[in-house]
Amino acid sequence: MSGNIISELADSSLKVIREAYESHGDSVIFLTSFGAEDMVISHLSWEAGIPLRHVTIDTGRLPGETYEIMDRVREKYGFCVEIAFPERKAVEETVLAHGINLFYKSREMRELCCRVRKVEPLNRVLSSAKAWVSGIRADQTSVRAVASEVEIDHAHGGITKYNPVLQWTSRDIWSFIAENSVPYNSLFNRGYRSIGCAPCTRPVNPGEDERSGRWWWESGTKECGLHVNERTDVILERGK
């Protein structure tokens, strides 16, 4: 992958980030889980002086390494990271009824846990936003493959969703990280390719799908419900 192509991708992504911020200011939130793609967005925003609001969801089950990279984002880039937590009562009731590790019991239980700990906090955060920025890539899942760089998110009240690194491959992302000394979650050095909650994420073997380490005991789509695509209305497409 040549540096020119990475640089073109970065320029294209920056246009999307800039458009998001110039259109919505503090009413657009960047939902980050500090994955490799998210770190590229943080870096591009910082380099361009765009004070994108960083928001993350702390499910209460994150690995320690994710808290470390969260602090690195604050220290290196100076972004204030807003943290959204699940509703205490909902977590307590779910755990009381089904146990702390309910997600291993069935897909239904896993989706319940994701709903309580991830999806509801996200919905709460997005209910006060006019738009959001996400670090999804088109080649990650079938749901993400039909996303667009700028789209209307009907699942969240018709707000605008910006996906600035949609067209990047994993190789592009890691080339950019290496070339620009972007900090990243140290779990990537231990074979993790996609990082979520500690009990639901494991390393993958070389050549395996990067999402195969998420909820590895399940078959089918590896989504937690954050990135729902009901074939959203495309309002702008770039880089195709």
User: Which residues 88-147 are close enough to bind ligand SF4 by CB under 6 A?
Assistant: 103, 110, 113-114, 117-118
Axis-axis angle for helices 170-179, 36-47 (nearest 10): 50
- Which one of residues 59, 163, 175, 229 is an interface residue with ligand SF4 (CB under 6 A)? 59
Q: How far is the CB of 204 from ligand SF4 (least distance, A)?
A: 16
Give me 48's structure tokens.
Answer: 């361009």
Task: Say whether residue 211 binds ligand SF4 (CB under 6 A).
Answer: no
Residue number, 183 or 213, with CB nearest to ligand SF4: 213
Residue number, 59 or 194, with CB nearest to ligand SF4: 59
Task: Say whether residue 225 binds ligand SF4 (CB under 6 A).
Answer: no
Binding range to ligand SF4, per CB under 6 A, among 38-46, 48-56, 165-173, 192-200:
192-200
Number of residues that bind ligand SF4 (CB under 6 A): 13
Binding range to ligand SF4, per CB under 6 A, among 134-142, 170-178, 179-187, 195-203:
195-203
194-199: long-range pairs with CB below 8 Å, 24+: 194/35, 194/140, 194/222, 195/33, 195/34, 195/35, 195/63, 195/65, 195/66, 196/33, 196/224, 197/59, 197/61, 197/62, 197/63, 197/117, 198/61, 198/62, 198/63, 199/61, 199/101, 199/103, 199/104
Determine which one of 113, 114, 197, 224 is catalytic: 224
Q: How far is the CB of 187 from ligand SF4 (least distance, A)?
A: 14
Residue number, 18 or 98, with CB nearest to ligand SF4: 98
| Closest of 169, 166, 173 to residue 234, by C-alpha | 166
Distance CA 222, CA 197 (A): 13
**Using an 8 Å Cβ cutoff, are 185 and 195 in contact?**
yes
Residue number, 103 or 184, with CB nearest to ligand SF4: 103
Distance CA 171, CA 150 (A): 23
Q: How far is the CB of 10 from ligand SF4 (least distance, A)?
A: 30
Q: How far is the CB of 200 from ligand SF4 (least distance, A)?
A: 3
Distance CA 85, CA 176 (A): 31
Binding range to ligand SF4, per CB under 6 A, among 170-178, 184-192, 194-202, 228-236:
194-202
Catalytic status, residue 224: yes
Residue number, 61 or 211, with CB nearest to ligand SF4: 61
Point out which residues pair with 54 in neighbouring strands.
30, 81
Reduced to 3 states (helix: H, G, I; strand: E, B; else coil), residue 219 is coil
Catalytic (active-site) positions: 224
Contact residues toward ligand SF4 (CB under 6 A) are 59, 61, 103, 110, 113-114, 117-118, 196-197, 199-200, 224
